[in-house]
Amino acid sequence: MSVLVTGGAGYIGSVTVEALREAGESVVVLDDLSGGHRAAVDVPFYLGDAGDAGLLRSIAAEHRVSQVIHFAGFISVPESARDPLRYFANNTAKATAMLSTLQEVGVRNVVFSSTAAVYGEPEQTPISEEHPKRPSNPYGLSKYFVEQILDWADAAYGVTHAALRYFNASGATATRGEDHHPETHLIPLVLQVPLGRRARVSVYGADYPTPDGTCVRDYIHVADLADAHVRALRYLRDGGPSRKINLGNGRGFSVREIVSAAERVTGKSIPVQGEPRREGDPSALVADARLAGEVLGWRPRRPAVEDIVQSAWDWHRSHPNGYGDR
């Protein structure tokens, strides 16, 4: 029996494939390489679309796929605001098509990459899973639709799921790191300054109701995310019911705190440029991640922000051109 990982050539997917292999799982990856990297995958790999029914059927038959982790999707909040239909088509419609084929071929469990963006502007933080879901951008809505579709798939066909709502994935392992094009995530952008690839880093808004006025986010080490996926697969395999589960550190860091951590780690000064707020950017997003502990026995093992930034810095220094394919 194998685990099919869609989007396994991407950032979180490739680190999770590493963790699955270390846990003794047999893994196969399907990715269209729209955002991923062939060099990030060293298990059986299929180039193609997660919504392609024929391809899914043949992978499922050849590898006796029993469980799926669905990472495949587009990930940029600002891009989703500019081109929402592209996000609903890829993140929602293709996930729906995939679920339909999976249920037809007898796959009983799905782990789904959801996001803190399903919550929208928080009414209170830390944010628990019960918090109202009011996504403030098409990206978050495209994911929230899938969560609801998964509920109906469970009710009608008994396909169970763990929808894992990640906060800010960050950091790297020795061999897998973050190489998005364009890069929109704070830590890799900040590190581009000491890497000599940009002169300064933009900070959007310094008048938020946070201690230093800049946005606060919950940064969770990508290796901790990967560990949670291994646990979620086992939980579903053991018959656990469908759940929506936050994955975060439970602690927030402001943009300025991340820049300072990066200055300490790299020993270089990182100039910032103040910019106006971006529309739809909540002031603070911090997870209440207690449910992940209760249900999956999971807790972050690498919660220190300097450790997260250090791991990203190590990877970028050893991979100055990322995976070298862009």
Ligand X SMILES: NC(=O)c1ccc[n+]([C@@H]2O[C@H](COP(=O)([O-])OP(=O)(O)OC[C@H]3O[C@@H](n4cnc5c(N)ncnc54)[C@H](O)[C@@H]3O)[C@@H](O)[C@H]2O)c1
* Residues found near ligand X in the complex (CB under 6 A): 6-7, 9-13, 31-36, 49-51, 71-73, 75, 90, 94, 113, 115, 166, 168-169, 180
120: left (phi over 0), alpha (psi -120 to 50) or beta: left
Closest CB 71 distance from ligand X, rounded Å: 4
Report how far residue 235's alpha carbon sits from residue 183's, in angstroms, rounded to the nearest whole number: 33
Cis peptide before 276 (omega within 30 of 0): no
Report how far residue 283's alpha carbon sits from residue 125's, in angstroms, rounded to the nearest whole number: 10
Closest CB 199 distance from ligand X, rounded Å: 25
Report how far residue 236's alpha carbon sits from residue 308's, in angstroms, rounded to the nearest whole number: 29
Closest CB 250 distance from ligand X, rounded Å: 16
Determine whether 323 is an active site residue: no
Q: Does residue 267 contact residue 309 with C-beta atoms inside 8 Å?
A: no
Closest CB 205 distance from ligand X, rounded Å: 19
Instruction: State the helix-helix crossing angle for 53-63 and 94-105, rounded to 10 degrees.
Output: 40
Which one of the listed residues 139, 166, 208, 219 is annotated catalytic? Answer: 139
Amino acid (1-letter code) at residue 228: A
Closest CB 101 distance from ligand X, rounded Å: 13
Closest CB 316 distance from ligand X, rounded Å: 15
Q: Does residue 187 contact residue 308 with C-beta atoms inside 8 Å?
A: yes
Q: Catalytic amino acids?
A: 139
